[in-house]
Amino acid sequence: MDVTLASVVLLITIAFVFLLVWVIVIVPQNRARKNQEKVVEELKIGEQIVTVGGVIGKLTYLDLDKDLARIEVSPGVEIRIIPAAISHPLDYMQRLARLEREGAQGAKGNQQSKTGGKANATNPAKK
């Protein structure tokens, strides 16, 4: 009977460790991969980009089917890279700030519509 209980505790412990590794490692990695794919899909020819190696250049060619991209690092000088090597657009931080502002304005608009236009309705019970 003690061996069976020990086996069950061991299996539960192994399952818990596996779940913990999944939540701490796999889920964030998948989220980052999906974000990276989204960033690459939204790129347009002519945008300034940064590669994972720190090279800054203008995107001149992007073919996701062939897994090939070219960036112009200097006038007349192009290098070939794979799209997975594209880290982000050069104006990525400005884009994030704009999205945060738009999100905050959208949330503020939602709050005003829910409170009847009163943005500072903190405690409706004090009427």
Strand order, beta sheet including 68-74: 77-81, 68-74, 56-63, 48-51, 86-89
- Please name the residue that has the structure tokens 């089917």: 65
Residue 36 in domain = yes
Q: How many folded domains does the chain comprise?
A: 1
Phi, psi of 56 (to 5 degrees): -110, 130
Q: How far apart are CA 71 and CA 52, in angstroms?
A: 13
Residue 102 in domain = no
Average pLDDT estimate for 70-85:
95
Does position 126 have pLDDT exceeding 50, yes or no?
no
Phi, psi of 44 (to 5 degrees): -120, 150
In the chain, the percentage of residues whose pLDDT exceeds 70 is 82
CATH number at residue 55: 2.30.30.140
Residue 119 in domain = no
Residue 120 in domain = no
Predicted pLDDT at 114: 52
Which domain range does residue 72 map to? 2-91
Residue 66 in domain = yes
